[in-house]
Amino acid sequence: MRTATPPVCSSLTRWTAAARYGVPFHATPESLLMQRLDGVIVCAENARHAPLVQLAADYTSHILCEKPIATTLDDARAMIDRCAATGTQLQIAFPVRFAPPIVQLKAMLDQGDLGAIYSVKCTNHGSQPGGWFTDPQLAGGGAVMDHTVHVIDLLRWFWRTEVTEVYAEIGVNLLHQDLAVDDAGLLSFRLANGVYGTLDTSWSRPPSYPTWGDVTLEVTAQHGVVTVDAFRQQVAVSSNAWGKTRWVPWGSNMDLGLVADFVEMIRTGRAPSISGEDGYKSLEVALAAYESARQGRPVSLPHAIGQVA
């Protein structure tokens, strides 16, 4: 789920925004949480997910946290453990699961339509988001952190298996200048079920690109090859008023699907469809990619991995 990075706001600006949309303004997280909300959505910088989720777990029974779950495995585990201790349902924001092309591929795999699976080639390209996304302390990494977790979550969901080995080549300032984090990476990995995969992840899309990026998968299997583009539900519209061509969605909204799923979880009391453990395992692969690039060799999982330098 990607939105434009907002500027740093003063309390007055936030109060004005609250008045505009007719919602109450709270100067602190504690003030908001004391309202005993049915659910809380955490959309802060990656490094702030852990303290905010652990705080919210004392006040609410349902939390939806943006991806990646955290910037370190220790923080991710602390979030999961705190929510378990307080009986709070923790869901992680992986909206691509709700894109109809992805849902259809999942159904084909579950039904065995493709036979034995041999390999999967994946991409997740986007525009350079700027702001805190390029701050290594707040984001925990760059394009590899930003985009790997989405795709790995899908593969784990497809086959209910784990990544066992990762090799990665990661570049800093290959596409942009003066970044303190990576802007491109190529991952090769193996899954416990024998499937081999690659992931091309980058901030390679220019500002003029019609959308923020893409998520594509090419699955090579016994009975054929299936190619899926999660974002290919749009009409290309060229408008002089806009100044460039835009892709106008005509189909579903995967972000809305994610939020609707979270609301249903609250209403029905069921378990999260995307758990904290799902977030942990996806983060583990992203951090293993950074570790592999540092060492220049494949890294086996699970592996003791810390904060991205």
Please report the pLDDT score of residue 302 as a whole number: 86
| 118 falls within a domain | yes
Summarize pLDDT for 201-225 with one digit per residue, the tens: 999 998 878 777 799 999 999 999 9
CATH number for the domain that contains residue 157:
3.30.360.10
> What is the bridge-based pairing of β-strands 40-42 and 117-127?
unpaired
| 295 to 240, 267, 289, 299, 301: CA distances (angstroms) | 50, 47, 10, 9, 15
Residue 119 · residue 213 · CB < 8 Å: no
| 184 falls within a domain | yes
247 and 108 belong to one structural domain: yes
179 and 289 belong to one structural domain: yes
Please report the pLDDT score of residue 7 as a whole number: 40
Domain boundary among 47, 73, 95: 95
Count of domains for the chain: 2
| 268 falls within a domain | no
Phi-psi label, residue 256: left if phi above 0, alpha if psi -120 to 50, beta otherwise: alpha
pLDDT along the chain (309 residues), means of 10: 41 75 90 94 97 98 98 98 98 96 96 97 95 97 98 98 97 94 98 97 88 90 96 85 81 92 97 98 98 97 56
67 and 154 belong to one structural domain: no
Please report the pLDDT score of residue 191 as a whole number: 97
| 224 falls within a domain | yes
Domain boundary among 95, 128, 144: 95
89 and 127 belong to one structural domain: no
62 and 115 belong to one structural domain: no
147 and 226 belong to one structural domain: yes
pTM summary value = 0.90
- Report the C-alpha gap between 230 and 31 in whole angstroms: 39
| 264 falls within a domain | no
Residue 197 · residue 155 · CB < 8 Å: yes
Range of the structural domain that residue 194 is part of: 96-253+276-300
71 and 170 belong to one structural domain: no
| 306 falls within a domain | no
53 and 88 belong to one structural domain: yes
Please report the pLDDT score of residue 305 as a whole number: 52
CB within 8 Å of 233: residues ≥ 6 apart: 100, 101, 249, 250, 251, 252
Closest CA to 228 of 84, 124, 298: 124
CATH number for the domain that contains residue 71:
3.40.50.720
69 and 117 belong to one structural domain: no
Domain boundary among 95, 119, 145: 95
Please report the pLDDT score of residue 130 as a whole number: 94
Please report the pLDDT score of residue 3 as a whole number: 39
